Amino acid sequence: MTFNLTASPDFPPDNIAGWYIFNTWMQRKLDVRIHFELYDNFEAQRRAFEEEKVDLIYANPFDAVMLVREKGFVAVAAPIGKADEAVVAVLDESPVQHVEDLKPGTRIAATDDPDVNMIGKIMLEPADLNAQNVHVQTVNSYTLVAKNLLRGQADVGYFLKDAYDHLSPVVRKQLRPLVTSQVGVVRHVLLVCPRFKDHREHLVEALLAMNADKAGQRVLESLGLKGWEIQTQEDTEFMIDLMDTLTA
C-alpha cells in the first residue's frame, strides 16, 4: 500500500525541496511507501481531500479543523515554537499608520489561505471594515501579495508571518507591518488519516527523535523547523474551539 503525503500550500517556497527530503526520510524510518504531492492552491488540495487522495498532511489550522471533524484525521505532531500568526502590511511610504486610518474602499491583496484571511479580517475590524466595504484581490502566493502592494494595486496585504519573514530583504524594506497577530496557539499540525493508524505510534516516535541524529537535523533544517512536539487530542480540541470562536 502507498500512502499520500502533502503539505499546506502556504509554506515558504524555499522549503519545497525539504518536503521531498522529509518524505524520503519518513519512508525509511517507517518502512512504508509514501508518495509526496504538492497542490498549487487550497482549492486543488481540497478537491484531493474530497477524493480521499490525502493520507498524511502538514495542514493549516483551518483545514485541520475540517479534516479532524469530517474526515476522521488525527493530529500527531506540531512544529516546535512555530505558531501561525498573520501580518497586515502596507507600503513603507503609505500614509496609513494605524488600522483605524483605513477607510471603506480599501483594496486588500490576499491569498486563499483561510486562517490568515480570517485573522487578517479580525485585525481590520477596528477600522469598521468588512466584506461589504473592501475590495479583496485573491492571488496565488504571498510573493504576489507583495507585488500588488509594490505596484500600487493594493492598499494592504495579508501575509502569513512566516511567509512575510521569508520575503527578500529588498521587498521587505519597501513594506511595513501595520499590525501583527499574537494568537499564539493556532498552528499548522501534521495529521494522519484513519487508515494510517498502524503506523501512527512509530511515526510519532520518529518525529520526536529527529533532533537526535545529524540526518534528522538536516531534514529539519531543510523544512525550516526546529523540531516536532506531540499534538495531543486536548491540544487539537482547544484549537478547534478557538477557531470556532474566531469564525463566529
Angle at 61 (CA atoms; ends 149, 140), nearest 5 degrees? 30
Reply yes or no on domain 2-82+186-247 having CATH 3.40.190.10.
yes
Sheet with 107-110, edge to edge strand ranges: 135-138, 107-110, 156-160, 86-91, 175-180
> What is the chain's pLDDT, residue by residue, as a tens digit (248 residues)?
899 999 998 877 788 899 999 999 999 999 999 999 999 888 899 999 999 999 999 998 889 989 999 999 999 999 998 888 999 999 999 999 999 999 999 999 999 888 899 889 989 989 998 888 999 999 988 999 999 999 999 999 999 998 999 899 999 999 999 999 987 778 899 999 999 999 999 999 999 999 998 999 999 999 999 999 999 888 888 888 887 776 66
Which residues pair with residue 135 across a beta bridge?
Answer: 107
Say how far apart CA 73 and CA 65 lie, in whole Å: 9
With a CB cutoff of 8 Å and minimum separation 6, the contacts of 139 are 109, 110, 111, 145, 148
Q: What residue ranges do the domains of the chain occupy?
A: 2-82+186-247, 86-180
Supply φ then ψ for residue 243, to 5 degrees: -60, -40
Say yes or no: do domains 2-82+186-247 and 86-180 share a fold. Answer: yes
**pTM of this prediction?**
0.82
Cβ atoms of 61 and 116 closer than 8 Å: no
**Please, which residues have CB within 8 angstroms of residue 122's CB and are 6 or more apart in sequence?**
181, 246
Give the CATH number of domain 86-180; options: 3.10.28.10, 3.40.50.2000, 3.40.190.10, 3.30.70.270: 3.40.190.10
Residue 101 cell numbers, joined: 486610518
